[in-house]
Structure 1
Amino acid sequence: MNDNIKVTELELRIFQCIWQLDNLATVNSIIEHWPDADAPGYTTVLKTLQKMESKSLVDHQKQGKQHAYFSLVNREEVTAGRLGTIIKRLFSGNKLSFAEYFLQENEFSQSELDELKALIEEKEGGRKNGHK
């Protein structure tokens, strides 16, 4: 997994549309499935997809006269890259400060807290067994 994937906000929104469309989307289908009313124009989406293709983030296949684009990276890789940037910029790279902020600023149900505890225990167990 590549944690160094850096995407812009526009690229992230395009990814979200591609993933929503079962990882195969034309420029028009991306615009039609844009998450809010402020969809970018055709040329903006096309040029952004071309840049994403040059960065090996997406590729395309011919569908008649159109190109259908698909992601070459998964949601987890993109999320890790975005989150890494946030932690680096807003928390000076301190993951513990980020975790503390996240816990203090959000309401959690008891079942969510139990799940968080289980994730921490799982992580601790992996370290005891010689894993990172």
Structure 2
Amino acid sequence: MNDEIKVTELELRILQCIWQNGEAATVNTIIELWPESDVPGYTTVLKTLQKMEVKRLVGHQKQGKQHAYFAKILSEQVTKGRLSTIITRLFSGNKLSFAEYFLQENEFSAEELDELKAMIKEKEAQK
């Protein structure tokens, strides 16, 4: 599957509910797991899932009288695509500008900074 996976905000929230539930989730389960108070209606979730199935983001299996939807993509694939879009649009594709912004705008504990340093050293070792 293509590395550049594009999902809407609604599709992302639905995928997050499916991933949170584990293997698969029915429309009712997705609604129950919805992270915000502004829960979309049953039909909205169902129609979006049907569109997502056409886009090959999800698949379904029969579960009694209902369909249980499962993700056909990994959360890492979605993260990569969305982060790439952010870096391109907000930072003109400059990864260092993004990293600088991220470091300046967030508070890190000493342990987290040590982890970041270790990640950088590991990346350097791969080169």
TMscore range, shorter length? over 0.9
Q: Which residue of 2 aligns with 1:39?
A: 39
Structure-2 residue corresponding to 1:85:
85
Tell whether 2:101 aligns with 1:122. no
RMSD, matched Cα: 1.1
Structure 1 segments of 4+ aligned residues over 4 angstroms from their partners: none
Shift of 1:53: 0.7
SS for the counterpart of 1:81 is helix
- One-letter amino acid of the counterpart of residue 47, structure 1: K
Paired letter, 1:11? E
Answering whether residue 35 of structure 2 is matched by residue 72 of structure 1, we say no
Which range moved further: 46-55 or 101-110? 46-55
Unaligned runs of 5+ in 2: none
Q: Distance in 1 between matches of 2:121 and 2:102?
A: 19
Cα offset, 1:23, TM superposition = 3.0
Quick one: which amino acid aligns to residue 72 of structure 2? L
For 1:1-132, list aligned pairs within 5 A: 2-127=2-127
C-alpha separation between the residues in 1 aligned to 2:4 and 2:52? 15
Q: State the shift of 1:98 in Å.
A: 0.5
Aligned partner of residue 30 in structure 1, secondary structure:
helix
TM-score (structure 2 length as normaliser): 0.96
CA deviations 1:39-70 (Å, max 9, x no partner) are: 10111111111111111111000001110000
Matched length: 127
Aligned equivalents of 2:101, 2:62: Cα separation in 1: 46
SS at match of 2:83: helix
How big is each residue's C-alpha offset from its partner over 1:100-127, in whole Å with a ceiling of 9 and x where there is no partner?
0000000000110010011011111101
SS at 1:40 equivalent: coil
Q: Helix, strand or coil: the match of 1:69?
A: strand
Distance of aligned partners of 1:110 and 1:126 in 2 relative to their CA distance in 1, 3 Å threshold:
same
Paired residue type of 1:17? C
Deviations 1:79-118 (A, max 9, x none): 1111111111111111111100000000000110010011
TM-score normalised by structure 1 residue count: 0.92
Identity of aligned residues (%): 76
